[in-house]
Amino acid sequence: MSDYKSKTTKGAKGDVVSHDKKTSWFYTDIVKEHFFNPQNFLSENPKEGVFNAMGKVGSPACGDELRVWMRVDPATERIKEFKWKTFGCGSAIASTSMTSLMVTEGGGMTLGGARKIRPQDIMARLGGLPARKFHCSVLCDKALRDAINDYYRRTNQIEKIVVEAARIVDSASKVTDKDIEEAVLEGACTLEEVQRKTKVGIGNPEILPAVEELIRFYREKYFGND
């Protein structure tokens, strides 16, 4: 699983270089454009009643916190406005900026259509992201779905709310399948790396085959076959 346009060599050069100067990766011109000139960014919280849906999500792993606001046309359930603000990295900013355009272009996506947006769709419009930054597009995807649920909650369409439940994989450590998914998105490729992040299966070896299967599933889901 390799980073988009990345390299691992001593003295590597790129848009971003690690502290040890051994790893770097490049961002596409589209990513840089959305980072330096973010679209639909909101510097302050909006006034009450301006928007009729709000979503939020945070990722303690990289320090990102994202909030989005939507104005949905009740007659058509199309997204007419999508504003956002985040405390996050360049990839998170670019991903959210691009998403704000995707859901409002062409008269606005329906909520049903917006719910089908995948992180891969956002990344494709950006021309790619480094693999270690892929979780930033997932962050935006989750905030969008949270806002869609919030709209349905406000309009009393409870039957349309989709709850993403987590399943406990290791009852001893309380690690869920979502914890493993997040670990893979943050760059954990092997069982050992996932265990370092989550402590799953430590002292509970009988569940390790299931954990390895989940790791393979999420790697293929987000990054394709190795």
DSSP string of 158-183, one letter each residue: GGG-------EEETTTTEEHHHHHHH
Distance CA 20, CA 59 (A): 24
Over the stretch 33-44, which tens digit does the pLDDT of each residue have? 999 999 999 988
| pLDDT the model gives residue 11 | 47
**DSSP per residue over 193-219, as a string?**
HHHHHH-TTTT-GGGHHHHHHHHHHHH
Residues of the chain with CATH 3.90.1010.10: 6-160
Spatial neighbors of 149 by CB under 8 A, at least 6 apart, are: 55, 161, 162, 163
Q: Is residue 20 predicted with pLDDT exceeding 60?
A: no
Which of the four pLDDT bands, split at 50, 70 and 90, describes residue 21?
A: low
Instruction: List the end-to-end C-alpha distance of the chain, in Å, as a whole number.
Output: 6
Distance CA 142, CA 55 (A): 8
Distance CA 180, CA 211 (A): 8
Over the stretch 176-201, which tens digit does the pLDDT of each residue have? 998 998 898 888 989 999 999 999 99
Residue 126 structure tokens: 């950006």
Distance CA 172, CA 201 (A): 8
What is 6-160's CATH number?
3.90.1010.10
Highest mean pLDDT, choosing among 2-6, 135-139, 191-195? 191-195
What class has domain 168-223? Answer: mainly alpha
Residue positions annotated with a catalytic role:
62, 136
Q: Is the pTM of this model over 0.85?
A: no
